Amino acid sequence: MPIPIEEISKFPLPGMDIPSSFSFSPDGKYLTYLKSVDTSGYKALYGLDLNTKSEFLIVDSLGDSSAKETLEEQLRKQRLRQMAGGISQYFWTKDSKILIPHQGNIYWLDGPFSTPELLMSASDNPCLDVKASPNGDFISFVQNGDIHLIEVESKTSFRLTDGEDDSTRGLADYIAQEEMGRNTGYWWSSDSCYVAFTEVNEKHIPEFLINHVGSDSVGSDAIESHRYPFSGQDNPKVRVGIVEVDSKDCVWVESTEDEYIARVDWFPDNSLVIQTESRDQQHLKVRQFSIEDSTLTTLVEEDSETWINLHNMLKPLSRGRFLWASNIEILGNLTPTDMSITGLRFKKEKFVMKGIALTFEDKKDFEIIFNFYAPKIKSLLVRNGADVTLAEDIMHDTMINIWDKIHLYNPEKGSFSSWIYTIARNNRIDLLRKKSSQPYTDISEIDIPSDNENSQDIVERKSLTEQVKNAINLLPEKQKKVIELSFINDMTQDEIAVELNIPIGTVKSRMRLAYQKMKDNLKDITA
């Protein structure tokens, strides 16, 4: 039986009536989501009380439902595939408030049962890409080509970025949105102290007119104007900046015009990680930018004969490590499934994740080594005062070191087990140095087992350690100080220069003299 068009029109498009945008309240009492109020596809904000299992309506409509969205808003919704009307997004803040961007305005609810309050009126300039800072102190948005902040406590607003009128800050350009799936142009650091953003200059890009044939509008209302970079022509000029919220001071990341800014992420140490692609999209770089010294370090590079598939699978871990999903399609006998996630880096023919090698010929051999020594290393570290979590981290790092440095092992210099335990001990010492502001002096506290270690070996090893300590103590005070700061406090030469208020050249000179003096002292001690 044919279905009349009038009946079909009563129902939303497929998927329009399915709840979406699920989120839990910070206190865990409520589940919130967007759902169609009726068959129209118009979305409203609903809540579910997790104790009573009862559903309730939070917000049905906001503002003037007949108000026309700006072109920028319409395009953003199209690129985000937001086809339904009504409320399209919302956010819980850290202090259990609800933030709702709608038709370029920003609304605010003190809780799921409160009345919406207009926090920021857009007028003719919509508030785009609204976010809450991680600590909940600020609401951020882009307006008139700059990033603005609202201080939650005082509800006062101010402009965070300031640049030329022919460029925008905080908005993703056309290529980023359409070709790379990056729909934002700014990112909060986890401590809410910094905002990274892209500055886009498109004034040199020619305008392209799109005529919507069949549109209800006619004339200029049926024509859209876009700055479109055609193949082989100039791209927008895009660079990444980092602005400090308190001071508004800005630093810029070095970049080239031939690179696309594909992804931007913050690491817990407030370093910025930027993924860039070459214009042919066959070469990808993952680089880490330090705010302190403006250095840019390459973490990962990948190439493809066709193109690089972008993804969002970069996850920072503790102690500077991260998880990364590789784009490499084939490696020896490995499949993409075998090596989908790697814990550190790609190196020649090896992928490593948490001390387990994923390679073809050496896999079984390394698993034997791992299964035999890993528990012993962990037990040794726990016996010497490390907690279980720390012991596991050091154990995994040790096994990774073994994998990377196996070619350096020399049987003539000692047993294989002693070599392994030495690596574990050094990893622990390095970690303790970095965590402590006080000089770490218990270098000999961890005894290193060996395959056939006897009491004489232990005595000799401890004696050597004491000899090194004595050689350091015999140094002149100024030379001794730079050695302690370098090797015990793990400070760089630049940091030592600042600490002692002396030129960097003086630091280098004192360290060189200290090394020579220690050699002479050790000769005298062991003679």
Please give the full DSSP string across 370-419, using - where no structure is assigned. Answer: HHHHHHHHHHHHHHTT--HHHHHHHHHHHHHHHHHHGGG--GGGS-HHHH
Q: Are 189 and 135 in contact (CB under 8 A)?
A: no
Residue 227 φ then ψ, to 5°: -85, 110
Tell me the C-alpha distance between 343 and 376, whole Å: 22
* Predicted TM-score (pTM) of this structure: 0.58
| pLDDT values of the chain reduced to their tens digit, one per residue, 527 residues | 555 555 544 455 555 567 888 999 998 999 999 988 776 668 899 999 999 999 999 998 886 555 566 666 666 666 666 656 788 889 898 888 899 988 888 998 989 999 998 888 877 788 889 998 998 889 999 998 999 999 988 888 999 998 877 899 999 988 888 888 898 999 999 899 999 999 998 888 887 777 765 555 556 666 777 777 777 778 888 999 999 999 999 999 987 667 899 999 999 888 999 999 988 888 999 999 998 888 898 888 888 888 888 888 788 776 667 777 775 443 344 443 333 333 333 333 333 333 333 333 455 556 667 777 788 888 888 777 777 778 888 888 888 787 777 767 676 677 777 788 888 888 887 776 665 444 433 434 444 454 444 444 444 545 555 676 777 788 888 888 888 887 666 677 777 888 888 877 788 778 878 877 777 776 655 45
Nearest C-alpha neighbor of 126 from the set 181, 76, 83, 163: 76
One-letter amino acid at 150 equals I
Q: Are 229 and 174 in contact (CB under 8 A)?
A: yes
What is the dihedral angle through the alpha carbons of 174, 175, 177, 182, rounded to the nearest 10 degrees?
Answer: -130
Sorted by where each starts, the structural domains of the chain and their CATH numbers stand as 1-126 (2.40.128), 361-452 (1.10.1740.10), 454-527 (1.10.10.10)
Give the DSSP letter string of 221-257: GGEEEEE---TTSPPPEEEEEEEETTT--EEE----T
For 32, 415, 492, the CA distances from 28, given in Å and listed in that order, are 11, 55, 45
The DSSP output letter for 446 is S
